[in-house]
Amino acid sequence: MSVLLDGSFGASSIITGARQGALLHNSANTLTEWYDKRYTGNNGEGATMGCPQVNVTGPRHWNVDYFVVDADFLRIKDITLGYNLPQKACDKIGLDNLRFTFGVQNAYTFTDYPLYNPQANTKGGNAGTAQFGVDNGSYPLARVYTFGINLNF
């Protein structure tokens, strides 16, 4: 059995794709938490959104810390299980060796990140650049299952 873990602690990400929906647009996809706390003009005291206007144009709402979230995670990146058939059983069926393997990639991610992938880097920047940690709503990682048989005659 082998297990590969991947993780990051102390990271944060800005979810830029949620800005418009959290401000005003009823037809935009956004997280319920942000939509319910959006500024509408009627809830000035209860709104926690960092933008005091419902007009969604201009730079005043562009990169406010309201959309910066904790991107810490621990991911079970790969699990592989293997089983060798005992030699006595292999001899009975005329084989030198018979091995079965089963694997899972991207098995599970432990995180409080509100979207699919805390490693999202939609802008394509490198670590240490201003573009790293920007999530515009990337696709989730695929979970891949593999099964293998190794026969030796």
Facing residues of 7 across strands? 74
Dihedrals φ, ψ of 39, to 5°? -85, 125
How many domains does the chain divide into? 1
Return the pLDDT at 52. 47
pLDDT in tens, 87-131: 999 999 999 999 999 999 999 999 998 888 888 776 665 555 555
Domain that holds residue 61: 2-152
Do residues 121 and 134 touch, judged by C-beta distance below 8 A? yes
d(CA 75, CA 88): 39
Residue written as token pair 């802008």: 123
Return the pLDDT at 110. 95
d(CA 138, CA 141): 9
Q: Which regions of the chain are under pLDDT 50?
A: 50, 52, 54
Q: Closest Cα partner for 72 from 114, 34, 22?
A: 114
d(CA 2, CA 77): 11
d(CA 18, CA 122): 14
Report in angstroms the alpha-carbon separations of 52 from 15, 16, 27, 66: 19, 18, 21, 13
Question: Residue 19, Cβ neighbours under 10 Å: how many?
Answer: 22
